Amino acid sequence: MASSFTRMLSGRHTAVILASIGAGTLASGYLLGDHVVAAAERTRLYPPRYPPTITGADFPDLRKHNNCMAAALTPTIYGHLRDKKTPNDFTLDQCIQTGVDNPGHPFIKTVGMVAGDEESYEVFAELFDPVIKDRHNGYDPRTMKHPTDLDASKITSGMFDERYVLSSRVRTGRSIRGLSLPPACSRSERREVEDLIQERGWEFMWNDRLGYVLTCPSNLGTGLRAGVHIRLPILSRDPRFKKILDNLRLQKRGTGGVDTASTGDTVDVSNLDRLGKSEVELVQLVVDGVNYLIDCEKRLEKGQDIKIPSPISQFRK
């Protein structure tokens, strides 16, 4: 049975959907593995790198990489930041390790870096800021402020036609202030997360520029993904489908998750943005977009034409 965003985001379970899921996600992140890497090992410089004859300095070899970090990192920025550390001793090399090791993704442009703690976004802002701006379609974390709104009563038209929408869900994430993020947390911090969740005595990482702070810059702001599995046998094969999704600020992928391509007539459709719009705005955007896709499919079933909608503005004027 297809569920609705109205049911998921309203009533007494709202806090469960928007907070506890995040806490559970956070807890699972902290509980992965028990190995704590020695500080000296964690702060090593990571090969492969450009030969000194090319850059004149030690620098990761990113010539074949396609991620936001690789596009933003320059020898100058690397030189400015390579010897800096956060108060928890997290380094630039640790931030970019994932992007150095993983050149790209077959279906999406990845971010290519992570934060080890809340302070990473300030200490390494010279690199994080352009990466955030690239990933979030121009959102400037130095000059813009992120809105937050968890009032689910504002959501409208969230009951989908179940002949097309097979399932729906909303997930988010939260990070506990004062503790390291998963790439840098210790075993004792993982245990502390367990205790804090049981006691419900914590404060989330948040500021008015980045919203809720999470490990990956792609999830800054709301950390929210509202998605549906939707059957679109005609529209999904229409050459205008991608442009329609782009203009509605939606993204599609396979029903098996982020690493899968779309197959058959069922696709996973969700919000493209996380930052710059509130939780309510993002869920409403998905609701309206999904209803538009359903309307297009119905029109195509009748042999009628469809229109590509005007682009939706990502940020508030």
Tell me if 255 is assigned to a ligand binding site: yes
DSSP class of 154: G
Tell me if 253 is assigned to a ligand binding site: yes
Tell me if 13 is assigned to a ligand binding site: no
Measured distance CA(3)–CA(148) in Å, rounded: 24
Tell me if 211 is assigned to a ligand binding site: no
Q: At what angle do helices 21-30 and 187-199 cross, to 10 degrees?
A: 160
Tell me if 267 is assigned to a ligand binding site: no
Contacts of 151 (CB under 8 A, 6+ apart): 280
Give per-residue burial for 43-80: e unless 16+ CB within 10 Å, then b. beeeeebbeeeebeeebbebeebebbbbebbeeeebee
Measured distance CA(212)–CA(258) in Å, rounded: 22
Tell me if 225 is assigned to a ligand binding site: yes
Residue 297 has phi, psi (to 5 degrees) of -60, -40
Tell me if 227 is assigned to a ligand binding site: yes
Q: Are 215 and 179 a contacting pair, CB within 8 Å?
A: no
Tell me if 138 is assigned to a ligand binding site: no
Neighbours of 161 (CB within 10 A): 14
Tell me if 200 is assigned to a ligand binding site: no
Encoded tokens for 14: 């709202």
Task: Cite the annotated binding site for ATP by residue number.
Answer: 225-229, 253-258
Task: Cite the annotated binding site by residue number.
Answer: 225-229, 253-258
